Amino acid sequence: MAKLYFRYGTVCSAKTLNLLAVAHNYEAQGKHVIVMKPKLDTRFGEGVVASRAGLSAKAHVLLDSAKLPPIASDTSCVLVDEAQFLWPEAIDHLHAVAHSDGVPVICYGLRTDFRRQLFAASKRLLELADSIEEVKTTCYYCNRKATFNQRLVPGEAQVALGGDDVYRPVCAEHYPKERDARYDC
């Protein structure tokens, strides 16, 4: 039976790199993979799934609503990047793809935002996923496990796409301490 997987981690934990490796492995075996991502993520270009390590691929599907397109019958796996930006209803649809259509779905994303609050889609994934796996990395300031995303730029908006210039992976001890005092976030 196929499963819905949620692989989460902080920023800079190689989630997208892992997704690209999984896609490559399926494709190297001649299997059909669908790579999806939210349409709002245009950091590396529209429809591009890219890791900080420099690897990239074209997304097959850009999601801009809670509704998913039909999944082709020859699909071996669905991979979703930046799943935290989806709608909870889209997670329900992905769950149905795994359980009704029999296609494994692997979602990669953040669990919480920079305020340490769950994203709505991540909450739904934690409720529905058959397998939940943490993709680990170390704190920017020490060698402990990073558990939070520290925002480096001012503002309160939950959705602020960015990379190393905007966010850092930090442990609980360094979450409030090392941030530049000029920023109130």
Q: Which one of the listed residues 27, 46, 82, 133 is annotated catalytic?
A: 82
CB 168 within 8 A of CB 183: no
- 82 as an active site residue: the answer is yes
Give the Cα separation of 2 and 99 in Å (integer). Answer: 6
Q: Which residues are catalytic?
A: 82
